[in-house]
């Protein structure tokens, strides 16, 4: 049988995709993150950016500094020697006000699942989610760990604009919007936190491997957090627990 993975694929003349699997799996995600950390700790000359995804690592490089074939061989050597250790896990408690104008699907989703709104909120907020990747838009977080009962297909017709900080469900995944844009996901509410803020030293709040739990808050508490963030009294960064 031909061994399919890992495999390294050229993506144009300045990027390589290191694919570790063809399924979504937490252990695979850990290897992706470990490889990215390995390359960050011991940089390869010419590598410019690393983008971890569910099952692969995109490696952007300067072709005038390093050739793709040579880089691919280096990446294979790094993979062969890779040690996946116990990474320091950052945990974030994300405040969420459920319902309202940005939770437009909350009641309908509860009806679909034969749940009360309170039961749905309890299910959604009792799970611990893993950030599998940041992508699609700057800082957009794809979250695994959604309780199976809440798995829901995306809308057949996407809405044209969903605001930043909306809390969504799409298929088997949960999400936190980072910037306004179109979406076919179902939305339950919003968080005052900003996943993407170009004024911060670290513009992205979350990164692959982080753990997230949602904490229900009242509209009044959310508005207090909104004002604090707008006034610069807090950055919008959750404190790792």
pLDDT, tens only, 29-67: 899 999 999 999 999 999 999 999 989 999 999 999 999
| Beta-bridge partners for 169 | 174, 186
Does position 241 have pLDDT exceeding 70, yes or no? Answer: no
Taken in order of first residue, the domains within the chain and their CATH numbers are 7-81 (3.30.1360.40), 91-239 (2.40.100.10)
Q: pTM to 2 decimals?
A: 0.83
Q: Which residue has the higher pLDDT, 89 or 227?
A: 227
- Alpha-carbon torsion (229, 130, 20, 79), positive or negative: positive
The pLDDT tens digits of the residues spanning 149-176 come to 999 999 999 999 999 999 999 999 999 9
138: buried, middle or exposed (CB in 10 Å: 19+, 13-18, 0-12)? Answer: middle
Q: Average of pLDDT values for 179-188?
A: 96
Contact indicator for 34, 83 with CB cutoff of 8 Å = yes
d(CA 130, CA 141): 9
Rounded to 5 degrees, what are φ and ψ at 170? -145, 110
The pLDDT tens digits of the residues spanning 94-128 come to 999 999 999 999 999 999 999 999 999 999 999 99
Query: For the chain, how are helix, strand and coil distributed in percent, rounded to 5?
Result: 25, 30, 45
Contact indicator for 91, 210 with CB cutoff of 8 Å = yes
Q: Average of pLDDT values for 140-155?
A: 95
How many Cβ atoms from other residues are within 10 Å of residue 65's Cβ?
Answer: 12
Does position 86 have pLDDT exceeding 70, yes or no? Answer: no
Q: Which helix (H) or strand (E) holds 233?
A: none
For residue 1, the model assigns a pLDDT of 41
């Amino acid at each position: 049988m031909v061994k399919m993975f890992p495999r390294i694929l050229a993506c144009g003349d300045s990027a390589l995709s290191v694919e570790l699997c063809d399924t979504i799996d937490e252990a695979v995600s850990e290897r992706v993150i470990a490889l990215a950390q390995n390359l960050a700790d011991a940089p390869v000359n010419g590598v410019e950016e690393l983008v971890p995804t569910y099952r692969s690592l995109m490696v952007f490089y300067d072709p005038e500094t390093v050739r793709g074939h040579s880089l691919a061989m280096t990446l294979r050597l790094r993979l062969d020697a890779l040690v996946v250790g116990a990474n320091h896990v950052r945990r974030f408690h994300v405040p969420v006000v459920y319902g309202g104008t940005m939770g437009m699907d909350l009641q309908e989703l509860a009806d679909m699942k034969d749940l009360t709104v309170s039961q749905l909120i309890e299910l959604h907020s009792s799970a611990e989610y893993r950030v599998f990747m940041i992508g699609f838009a700057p800082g957009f977080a794809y979250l695994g760990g959604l309780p199976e009962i809440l798995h829901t297909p995306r809308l057949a017709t996407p809405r044209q604009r969903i605001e930043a900080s909306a809390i969504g469900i799409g298929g088997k995944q949960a999400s936190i919007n980072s910037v306004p844009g179109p979406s076919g996901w179902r939305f339950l509410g919003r968080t005052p936190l900003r996943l993407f803020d170009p004024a911060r030293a670290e513009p992205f709040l979350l990164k692959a491997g982080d753990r997230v739990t949602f904490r229900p808050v009242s509209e009044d508490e959310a508005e207090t957090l909104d004002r604090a963030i707008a006034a610069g009294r807090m950055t919008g960064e959750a404190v790792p627990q």
